[in-house]
Amino acid sequence: MNEQAPAAAPRARLVAHAVLAGIGLVALAISLRLGLWRQSSPGEGLFPFLTALAMVTFSVAGLVRDWLRREAAPARAAVDRAGLIRVGAYLGALVFYAVSLEFLGFIVATALTITFILRAAERYPWAATLALTAGTVIGCQVLFVLWLGAMLPTGTLWADVFQ
């Protein structure tokens, strides 16, 4: 059973690429504010910066590609409502992550974001969601803090609570 999702309308694709590029630019600005490099080690904003840069690059590439192909595309295509809701969930999760990272800290913001994506957008069962979330958070801590010596944000909320 190899079903293919219906193609989006050309105008919808152009708008989607432009929106993703815009969100990527906002994420770039936020990551620069976090700092890319500190005391000879990666800063809190380096990984979000690289991710946002890739998002902007691919969105602009898709925008250019679809702009050049807009004449050859069919006039109207069916819209996959479930796919749009799923993309909206991802975008909402990314915005939440970018906004809450400094306040909640890396561990809490990452855990909440991944849990939401896996449960709401991907419909994973709770056991898989919790295992993947824990593995991701622990893996990132080991990679960035222990191996790379990065200073990940601990969260201003927790600094206020524990001081």
Residue 66 shares a structural domain with residue 131 = no
Residue 127 shares a structural domain with residue 88 = yes
Last residue of a domain, one of 60, 78, 96: 78
pLDDT value at residue 97: 92
Domain extent at residue 89: 80-163
Residue 70 shares a structural domain with residue 39 = yes
pLDDT value at residue 108: 93
Residue 65 shares a structural domain with residue 26 = yes
pLDDT value at residue 1: 46
Which among 145, 17, 32 is positioned nearest to 98, based on CA atoms? Answer: 32
Residue 100 shares a structural domain with residue 130 = yes
pLDDT value at residue 12: 79
Residue 160 shares a structural domain with residue 85 = yes
The total number of structural domains in the chain stands at 2
pTM for this prediction: 0.58
Residue 142 shares a structural domain with residue 156 = yes
Residue 119 shares a structural domain with residue 46 = no
Residue 36 shares a structural domain with residue 61 = yes
Burial 12-45 (b: 16+ CB within 10 A, else e): ebbebbeebbebbeebbebbeebeeeeeeebbbb
Residue 126 shares a structural domain with residue 137 = yes
Tens digits of pLDDT across the chain (163 residues): 455 545 667 777 888 888 889 998 998 999 888 888 888 778 788 888 888 899 999 999 988 988 888 766 555 555 567 777 888 888 899 889 989 988 999 999 999 999 999 999 899 999 999 999 999 999 999 988 888 888 888 888 877 666 5
Taking phi over 0 as left and psi of -120 to 50 as alpha, with beta for the rest, 40 belongs to left
